[in-house]
Amino acid sequence: MDIQNPIVGPRSISDGSEPQLRAGRTAELIVQPAHGELYEETARGNIWTISTAAAGINATTVVAAGVSAARCIVGLYNPTSDTNLFVTRTVIVQVSGSAVTGGYVWGSVASPTAITSTGQLGVNNRTMTSGGHRAYAFNGSTIVTGITTTVLFRYIGGFIAGTIAAGQNATLEEVEDDLVVGPGCFLGVFVAVAGTNTTATGSLSWAEIPA
């Protein structure tokens, strides 16, 4: 009368009881998440967020994917051999200027060997204090020195090329949870091609998990 003998269909059971678990009509075990998907990871203090300054980052050539010494809008370098960095959410908002062909992209480097930047401090998503992470996080305030040429990995979103009118929705976001920055890898958010008078703000959240 327990986990070994689930029974099909719902019942109404009081707290403190020990029910036979519930099965579905195709013989599956019926489950219910206790909390949101990322609660456990966050409550354990394993998630951080890095954000650009509110003024944003000018999308000149230093933030275009495919160049060396790149300044990403937000990004992560994993210098460890024993930790995976799991990207949980990215938000990009273009706050002023012109949209460029190709929009915003993830740019990656598989095995950068000469990154010397240590980046900026992210803020922990539970304690709201800065630091404590192993990743080198970047928020566009400094160049990722020593990086080799990034490659266009995946699109995040974009606009019809040209000036963004006042009041238009200019928010792009990605919440797919399907990017892991493995040991020794770099991943950052860039504009696909250089822009003129294009300003972007952004945030990136990630979890650190033993590899």
Partner 1 sequence: MPEGDLQNPVVGPRVVADNQYPQLRAERTAALVVGHAHGEMYEEVSRGNVWTISTAAAGIAIATSVGIPATAANNPIVGIYNPPGSVNMHVTRTILVATTGTAVTGGFAWYLSANPTGITSSGVQARNNKTFVKGGHYGIAFDGSTPVTGQTVAPTLFRQFGGGFPGALAAGTNSTLEETEEDIVLGPNNYLGLYAVLGATGLNVVGSLTWAEVPTGG
Residues 16-55 close enough to bind partner 1 by CB under 8 A? 16-22, 29-35, 37-41
Q: Which residues contact 184 (CB under 8 A, 6 or more apart)?
A: 78, 79, 81, 111, 112
Cα-Cα-Cα-Cα torsion 167, 96, 119, 147, nearest 10 degrees, comes to 120
Which of the ranges 68-76, 122-130, 132-140, 171-179 carries the binding residues for partner 1, by CB under 8 A? Answer: 171-179
Residues 87-116 that bind partner 1 (CB under 8 A): 88, 98-99, 101-103, 105, 108-111
- Of 69 and 151, which has the nearer Cβ to partner 1? 151
For residue 107, how many C-alpha atoms fall within 13 Å in the half-sphere facing its CB?
Answer: 30
Among 156, 189, 200, 204, binds partner 1 (CB under 8 A): 156
- Least Å distance, CB 135 to partner 1, is 15
Terminal CA-CA length for the chain = 39
Tokens 């012109």 belong to 98
- Of 14 and 116, which has the nearer Cβ to partner 1? 14
Q: Phi, psi (5° rounding) for residue 20?
A: -65, 135
- Least Å distance, CB 145 to partner 1, is 20
- Give the number of residues in contact with partner 1, rule: CB under 8 A: 78
Structure tokens at 186: 């770099």
